[in-house]
Amino acid sequence: MLFRRAQGEDLCQGRSLEGVAAASVYAVCRCNGLGRTLEEISQLATDSRSDLGCAYSAMNTELELPTMIPWPQNFLPQVAATLEIPDEIRHRALELTESRR
């Protein structure tokens, strides 16, 4: 749906369709407060991170997306898994992030 809106507003002109599609995925994550970074999305796309960032920025500006600020607890599971943090520390970190809301 968001990709089609971008097409309708001619935001795909001069950009690769895959780049706009990947930027759309990132935009949907941002609009729903999901903890995904542009870096993560760009690793799965053929376009560069900067191309996706430009496409996202154009979409955000032109379509006036209702983006949300991602909460730290949305990033916590993937950071804990990457760093192999023990469960008790991960649970305590989650408690601390939730108490800051």
Tokens of 84: 């192999």
Q: Is the domain of 48 the same as that of 82? A: no
Q: Is the domain of 15 the same as that of 54? A: yes
CATH code where residue 13 lies: 1.10.472.10
The answer to whether residue 99 scores a pLDDT higher than 80 is: no
The answer to whether residue 24 scores a pLDDT higher than 90 is: yes
Stronger pLDDT, 45 or 33, i.e. the higher one = 45
Q: Is the domain of 15 the same as that of 37? A: yes
- Mean pLDDT, to the nearest integer, of 50-56? 92
Confidence of residue 26 (pLDDT cuts 50, 70, 90): very high
Instruction: Tell me the CA distances in angstroms from 96 to 32, 36, 89, one per residue in order.
Output: 22, 20, 11
Q: Are 30 and 66 in contact (CB under 8 A)?
A: no
The count of structural domains within the chain is: 2
Which residues, in sequence order, are CB contacts of 22 under 8 Å at separation 6+? 41, 42, 44, 45, 47, 52, 55
Q: Are 70 and 35 in contact (CB under 8 A)?
A: yes
Burial of 19 (0-12, 13-18, 19+ CB in 10 A): buried
- Mean pLDDT, to the nearest integer, of 78-94? 87
Percent of the chain, pLDDT > 70? 98
**Poorest-confidence range of 30-34, 68-72, 82-86?**
68-72
Q: Is the domain of 56 the same as that of 93? A: no
pLDDT for the residue 100: 61
pLDDT for the residue 78: 79
Domain of residue 40 covers: 2-63
Closest CA to 54 of 38, 67, 69: 38
Q: Are 20 and 6 in contact (CB under 8 A)?
A: yes
Q: Is the domain of 59 the same as that of 76? A: no
Mean pLDDT of the chain: 86
